[in-house]
Structure 1
């Protein structure tokens, strides 16, 4: 199968979306209930997926078309058992979910251990390269970079950007450096000029307000956990994890993260038990080897 460059927007929606798209919910579903079972080598009956996503208001046709698109994009593989179709994760999708798990459960939204280093990426393209410029900027934003100047982008810490640059075929046009800011540089001002802190903070505040007032006792645990994880991942995917010491004193990420982890802990057991009851699964057969 031809390798596809996956647009991050196809995996996680824009952070402003009031309702996660079906693909985000499917990925959240597999991350919560499939990834760590038999190393992801588990297929889930399409009817079970339709049932679960129906609990968060996603219609059957939307789920079916989403599953088909995800197969075509190399995120899911399907396996027929009699008249039933089962779907499981591809290695590519497992990598995406494990990366998301790293961001959610280990890295977190609060960067208190920054070592003072920055990754700088400079590029200069011909004027006619509008598409290449757009693609690179989109991928840099996804990877936590902010625009210091039009052709010079910056991210906190040491960021390995080689794979993205190579995928876009831009190796010869990009220069990457790792450096520290001189004392002359006002790092706080640089951050405010390079990233939209107001919008990012508003997302955390809205998340915290929405979930601290949620009535969990009356909610479906599977649906609640799907929404919670999909929404949280959508937010932190747009957060470059800027060093806390250079952010406003009232930065809301920690409070929102505490709310997320509290509700995630409350819903883990009930959602897992309900999933075990309602999901019909089967082991996936080894994928057929690709031809020469």
Structure 2
């Protein structure tokens, strides 16, 4: 898999040691942590500056030292990621049989609107079944998507269950790229199953969580009962949870000695 972006790793660091703690972290501490990940001080400083410019981090000065804290925007993103990783997970083994269906019909000239709609549907777990009909397992707030894009007049949302004669496994194969989904989990397993890429527990934990989030973020969480019997997400999720627990305490001990934290100023 391609190298993780420093911004992704920065989010993992702040999500682990800053989120919901009312603190900010000294830039020099961040540089020390990123050095363990093989990222230069120049790249780390550039990443911090870019994230400030994008409204993802905020600066706070104490004497001659510059500290960085989370913004409302980055806090919301990290809470969403936390839910996706630790609560939702990658293996849908408690599916209730419900589907969300969205059908749409847009004028041929609306190429941009069609692209935007398809992109947001795919991000939300939908797959194209046929023509303008997309499906997603479970209850998905699809109306929010079409309303946000100003397309409410061109789309309809339904919730339904498949009939007894429907080949659900075949429908899933038709609507989703199972090969592509499986390959992301196979890549994760190949990197972490036998010889993890980092021996340093702090670097390992941040990379592990970042790579796991990258693997699951576009997974529509298809019902595992209708997936191939050897679906790699099952083994990958177990590996992630085992390693995450293995790295948890050693990484916290290292972080305690490395991170200079201060109370965040209320803006």
TM-score interval for Structure 1 and Structure 2 normalised by the shorter chain: over 0.9
More moved, 133-142 vs 262-271: 133-142
CA RMSD of aligned residues (A): 1.8
Aligned to 2:19: 35
State the shift of 1:127 in Å: 2.1
Tell me the alpha carbon deviations over residues 83-141 of structure 1, each in whole angstroms, 9 at most, x when there is no partner.
32211112222222122212211222111110111111222222222222212211211
Aligned to 1:263: 243
- Give the Cα–Cα distance (whole angstroms) in 2 for the partners of residues 74 and 136 of structure 1: 26
1:196 aligns with 2:177: yes
State the shift of 1:27 in Å: 0.8
Tell me the alpha carbon deviations over residues 221-269 of structure 1, each in whole angstroms, 9 at most, x when there is no partner.
1110011000001111121110011001111111111111111001000
Count residues with an aligned counterpart: 267
1:174 aligns with 2:158: no
1:95 to 64, 76, 96: 76
Structure 1: where are the runs of 5+ without partners? Answer: 1-16, 288-292
**Are the structure 2 counterparts of residues 69 and 136 from structure 1 closer, same or farther at C-alpha, using a change threshold of 3 Å?**
farther
- Give the Cα–Cα distance (whole angstroms) in 1 for the partners of residues 120 and 34 of structure 2: 29
How high is the TM-score relative to the length of structure 2?
A: 0.93
Structure 2: where are the runs of 5+ without partners? Answer: none
1:24 aligns with 2:8: yes
Aligned to 1:233: 213
How high is the TM-score relative to the length of structure 1?
A: 0.85
**Are the structure 2 counterparts of residues 169 and 52 from structure 1 closer, same or farther at C-alpha, using a change threshold of 3 Å?**
farther
More moved, 234-243 vs 51-60: 51-60
**Are the structure 2 counterparts of residues 151 and 62 from structure 1 closer, same or farther at C-alpha, using a change threshold of 3 Å?**
farther
